[in-house]
Amino acid sequence: MSKIATSTGSKIAKTGRFGRYAGKASSLLRKPAMALRLLEKGASKVKAYDNVFEFVDDMWVKFRAVIRMVFAAVRGQYKGISKKNIILSLAAIIYFVTLWDIIPDILPIIGILDDATLVAWLLNTINDELSAFREWEHAEALQEPETILQIEE
């Protein structure tokens, strides 16, 4: 990750809007069905950007893994992510699926830049837990329900 993306993502994470998303994400931990619906929505949006420029492809692959990791954690299948990082991940997914964020997604190309920056920051923040999840996922051969994600790496 570039230092600029990490720094900008950190700034977004400190905004009041992201703080509100983190509050919503925290409450989602007590409502797994709602969290799962959010994860489905996040998965749909990620899938829509499957062919983003090659240089960010790895970021999208990892973000899809974040969605799978949180999905597995919310379902109680995976215990290797801290509550703090579940909340950060859910808040980032809320931000990602929200049309009206800092740079509205309706603006072509630049509307996704703040989302990508926040995703880059999240990936940097939870990198160790995400790597451990991907190893666990590979070892367990976790298959997502067809109704959730059809995102291949």
Give the integer Cα–Cα distance in Å for 40 and 67: 9
Q: Does residue 152 fall inside a structural domain?
A: no
What is the number of domains present in the chain?
A: 1
Q: Tens-digit pLDDT profile for the chain (153 aa)?
A: 555 556 667 777 887 878 888 888 888 888 888 888 888 887 776 666 555 564 467 788 899 999 999 999 999 999 999 999 999 999 999 888 876 666 665 666 667 777 788 888 899 899 999 999 999 988 886 455 444 444 444
Q: Does residue 117 fall inside a structural domain?
A: yes
List the alpha helices (DSSP H) in the chain. 3-13, 16-28, 32-48, 57-74, 83-97, 110-125, 127-140
Closest to 95 (Cα-Cα) out of 42, 51, 47:
42
CB half-sphere exposure, 128, CA atoms < 13 A = 2
Other CB atoms closer than 10 Å to residue 127's CB: what's the count?
Answer: 12
pLDDT confidence of residue 107 = 65
Q: Does residue 67 fall inside a structural domain?
A: yes
Q: Does residue 150 fall inside a structural domain?
A: no
pLDDT confidence of residue 58 = 77
- Paired tokens of 60: 């999208």
Give the range of the structural domain holding residue 101, as residue numbers without chain letter: 3-140
